[in-house]
Structure 1
């Protein structure tokens, strides 16, 4: 099970996440988030990371030029994009990306193409990090091997995901001591629990 720890704001949390076994680190380039980080501040962290760790920039309703510039400035390998307002032209975006589906119904899940990897999060007005969960029954009898699940995950509820065969998990608030500051033990416990699914 792949695990991304999102909302990294400092080097210590990044190193603790990697030592806990995280496959990817997420950096939030959405100014209204309490986990927001400037691209060049993220770059300073990224330049100190060991190899084989994926770096992911989170964007909310941004155009192509901003996404490309921020990814370049922060040395992001992947853009994770919420595009509810259709700011992003995915056809001409020359940055590797994954779309975020903020699911509000089972129909949203049913419409996911088997050809694309998608990150599915619960719909909240503030664009994530609120601990709200997606209804698991929406994924029943579906091939979920191209889906990364986010929203309301923590070490205590991962056993509920057994059998769904998600590609990966994305966690932020579930491994925090406070908004923007991770808890080392919670990250270790989360990844250990994810490996048991």
Structure 2
């Protein structure tokens, strides 16, 4: 099975175009103001206009209210909601249902976390996938750190690997974990929120090579 890919934290039109032309399956727009990769709904609307059919737009929210997400959806046609905060399974499911969107949950892999149980909790609530990210006590995603890939589980739920991925390690990451998809942000940047076009292309080459070499 081909490993899907998402470039997250897109803030510029030119970065979105390069990501699309390099073969990504999705781009991520961050609607979390404290993030250096955050965009406003109006900025997101402009970026979305250059995204063609068959490339999905994922909206990343951190502990956002239903009203806040509704405002964003008035500006940009988000395909999938990514809940990246402390949202419970029921909160995710309720908001997604009211908004008429599919959703998935990002889980930070802490050392003491029962990953299998967490995946099951969100899957039972209706998550289309679960994203496994590196844990950081203060940062919600984009940490630049990896977690121990040996704990990456097998699951009937589509799993997305994130955290510290780069053009140099994504091939091995895919071979080691066999995820449904990989998600990168800081690993293809020249500065926070500014994507490096050569790194995007190199990352996507690594994704293709990793997929071809999966056991």
Question: Same-fold call, TM > 0.5?
Answer: yes
Q: Provide the C-alpha distance between the structure 2 equivalents of 1:127 and 1:68, rounded to a whole number of angstroms.
A: 22
Distance 1:150 1:144, change over 3 A: farther
Q: Provide the C-alpha distance between the structure 2 equivalents of 1:144 and 1:185, rounded to a whole number of angstroms.
A: 34
Counterparts of residues 157-168 of structure 1 (less than 5 Å): 157-161=169-173, 162-168=175-181
Q: Is this contact kept in 1: 2:16–2:50, CA < 8 A?
A: no
Deviates more, 1:71-80 or 1:109-118: 109-118
Q: Is this contact kept in 2: 1:102–1:121, CA < 8 A?
A: yes
Q: Is this contact kept in 2: 1:63–1:89, CA < 8 A?
A: no
Distance 1:97 1:175, change over 3 A: same
Larger helix share, 1 or 2:
2
* Deviation of the 1:107 alpha carbon: 3.8
Among candidates 29, 32, 48, match of residue 30 of structure 1? 32
* Deviation of the 1:171 alpha carbon: 0.1
Q: Provide the C-alpha distance between the structure 2 equivalents of 1:66 and 1:12, rounded to a whole number of angstroms.
A: 27
Which residue does 2:104 correspond to in 1? 98
Distance 1:52 1:91, change over 3 A: closer
Which residue does 1:134 correspond to in 2? 147
Count residues with an aligned counterpart.
196
Among candidates 41, 44, 47, match of residue 46 of structure 2? 44
CA-to-aligned-CA distance 1:35-84 (integer Å, 9 cap, x gap) = 11001211111122222110011111112221232133222111111231
The CA RMSD measured in Å over matched residues stands at: 2.1
Distance 1:170 1:128, change over 3 A: same
CA-to-aligned-CA distance 1:156-194 (integer Å, 9 cap, x gap) = 112322042200000000000111110111111101111
Q: Provide the C-alpha distance between the structure 2 equivalents of 1:179 and 1:83, rounded to a whole number of angstroms.
A: 20
Q: Provide the C-alpha distance between the structure 2 equivalents of 1:187 and 1:156, rounded to a whole number of angstroms.
A: 12
**Structure 2 gaps, min length 5:** 211-215
Q: Provide the C-alpha distance between the structure 1 equivalents of 2:35 and 2:65, rounded to a whole number of angstroms.
A: 18
Among candidates 78, 99, 116, match of residue 80 of structure 2? 78
* Deviation of the 1:106 alpha carbon: 6.3
CA-to-aligned-CA distance 1:82-104 (integer Å, 9 cap, x gap) = 23165982232233211111110
Matched, 1:143 2:155: yes
3-state SS of paired residue (1:192): helix
